[in-house]
Amino acid sequence: MNLLGCLVAFAAMALAYLSSRNQRALARPLGRGARLAAGVLTVVALACWVVGETTLPGIFSTLTALMLGAVAFPYVLWLLKPADAKKAR
């Protein structure tokens, strides 16, 4: 359950990032549906972590996985599509 919780938390943060106005991966940010899906996936990640652990460690593990996803996802996109690639066009 812990691995599933991590994967769902990373997917939630990816959708949250791609629906943000400040994202640089897409020409236009994703809509409200993506933000809603990110919220639902966050709750699913919390449920996975609480089932795998107990309540309080599950909550903190979920928050840690969400923070890791929020920090790592923009850097992964930057490695795949550097900021200079936009200027080269």
The 10s digit of each residue's pLDDT in 5-50 is 999 999 999 999 999 998 888 889 999 999 999 999 999 999 999 9
Q: Which domain holds residue 34?
A: 2-84
* The model's pTM: 0.83
* Greater pLDDT, 42 or 54: 42
* 64-68 mean pLDDT: 94
Question: How many domains is the chain partitioned into structurally?
Answer: 1
In the chain, alpha helices (H): 2-18, 32-52, 55-80, 84-87
Please give the Cα distance from 87 to 38 (Å, whole number). 30
Closest to 48 (Cα-Cα) out of 79, 78, 10, 3: 3
Task: Quickly count: other Cβ atoms within 10 Å of residue 5's Cβ.
Answer: 23
28 falls within a domain:
yes
30 falls within a domain:
yes
pLDDT score recorded for residue 86: 58
13 falls within a domain:
yes
C-alpha to C-alpha distances, 58 to 13, 38, 76, nearest whole angstrom: 17, 18, 26
29 falls within a domain:
yes
89 falls within a domain:
no
* 1-7 mean pLDDT: 91
